[in-house]
Amino acid sequence: MGKYFGTDGIRGRVGEAPITADFMLRLGRAAGQVLAANDKRPVVIGKDTRISGYMFESALEAGLASSGANVALLGPMPTPAIAYLTRTLYACAGIVISASHNPYYDNGIKFFSADGEKLGDNIEAKIEAAIDAPFTTVDSANMGKAWRIEDAAGRYIEFCKGTLPFGTHLNHLKIVVDCANGSNYKVGPAVLRELGAKVVAIANQPDGLNINADCGSTYMQNLSIRVRDEKADLGIAFDGDGDRMLMVDDQGAVIDGDQLLYIIASARHAAGTLGGVVIGTVMSNLGLEQSLLQQGIGFERTPVGDRHVHQRLVSEGLSLGGESSGHILSLDRTSTGDGIISALQVLEIIVNSGKSLRELASGMEKFPHVMLNVPVSGNAKQRLAENQKIALEAQRVEKELGKSGRLILRASGTEPLVRVTVEGQDGQQVERLAEELAEVVRVEMT
């Protein structure tokens, strides 16, 4: 992590450094200097639905123009759509204004390269250095211009549908879609309807303040209830910026990212199209790893974050990986995690197999798993690494779990939290140990 960039771009509370209008002006100029130097291809900018996006869009546009960079504005669009449009519009870079699953009062910035992939550490370091340099403006004759892409949504909808084999339709499925009052509020339901599904859309009325508020992939209760009430076949929940996706089955049970990854990997393996091992993270459930190994499918883990999963997939020439949160990467279909395309893959399997989502997910036995988020103050990562009492308690927990369980203790890269995750075969033991360790963290770091 750099001075400004964290595990997933730059993120924080609006109005508090660095998530301020003046910083975004300097960031725009710096990004223009590094990513668009002597390049008249545009930098595309898209955003989610939170109210501060208007302010930051304008500030970034001004900063980019001051560096001489041209700008193409997409408006509210899912993060993966911005990655796709960066490539297909032949832009030199893409910028996403979003704090993903965080509340409306947070916001953040993510960048894509011209290939629609996240920037490498070396490029982020160059941008950080340029941010802190004195602000300069190119000569007026060389300033950048800005324009809006009016058909951005239509382009992306057609791309999503095109990831399915020709002739695939969802005519017999009734689907409830929770749009998280976020950037998928239009295109998510539209893709499914155009493929023939009967769609009931909820949390699809964003007002700038209600993004992720008791809805979306971080709050599944309303979706579960609505699926049962509607007697739907399943439900789909996106997060605020549309790169994650979880599902619920016809009985309202949540199907998480590990189970969805299992369903996709198993179907690809059976069809002979998997092309190697599956990549997860240290947070992936042990049940996923064991269920895949039983089928002869290899499984490897990376540190937390889709960025690490993506790097491993690329370095090993693989195509499929993901996180428990529902961030699934299918690099044979698109360059980044995409909630709509992930959902379409599962729906394709349902249609082709004739099985329900519940039946498909039943092949994976999940280990009891408890994750507790402990709010902390100060530099969570540094304080956690230096605290000996927490380290000793973590050692005690690991010793009691033995080889039949796992402990993951980590500071969040996007929020002031320490995440305590315990996994094992004995549910009561798992819950007890997680609570005991979380209490020590709470006492030591609050």
CATH superfamily of 10-150: Alpha-D-Glucose-1,6-Bisphosphate, subunit A, domain 3 (3.40.120.10)
Contacts of 305 (CB under 8 A, 6+ apart): 7, 8, 281, 323, 413
69: left (phi over 0), alpha (psi -120 to 50) or beta: beta
421: left (phi over 0), alpha (psi -120 to 50) or beta: beta
171-254 and 256-361 have identical folds: yes
Enter the pTM of the model. 0.90
pLDDT tens string 325-381:
999 999 999 989 999 999 999 999 999 999 999 999 999 999 998 999 999 988 888
Looking at the predicted structure, is the pLDDT value of residue 413 above 80? Answer: no
* pLDDT interval class at 1 (50, 70, 90): low
Options 3.30.750.80, 3.30.310.50, 3.40.50.300, 3.30.1490.20; CATH for 369-445 is 3.30.310.50
Structure tokens at 85: 């449009």
Task: Let me know if 58 is a catalytic residue.
Answer: no
Q: Which helix (H) or strand (E) holds 392?
A: helix 388-401
Looking at the predicted structure, is the pLDDT value of residue 208 above 80? Answer: yes
pLDDT tens string 236-281:
999 999 999 999 999 999 999 999 999 999 999 999 999 999 999 9
The rounded mean pLDDT for the chain is 95
CATH of domain 256-361: 3.40.120.10
C-alpha span between 434 and 369 (Å, rounded): 9
Options 3.30.1300.10, 3.40.190.10, 3.40.120.10, 1.20.58.1030; CATH for 171-254 is 3.40.120.10
pLDDT tens string 374-394:
999 888 889 999 999 999 999
Catalytic residue among 52, 98, 100, 217: 100
Q: Considering only 4-8, 58-62, 146-150, 389-393, which range has the smallest mean pLDDT?
A: 4-8
Domain boundaries, the chain: 10-150, 171-254, 256-361, 369-445
Q: Which helix (H) or strand (E) holds 73?
A: strand 71-76
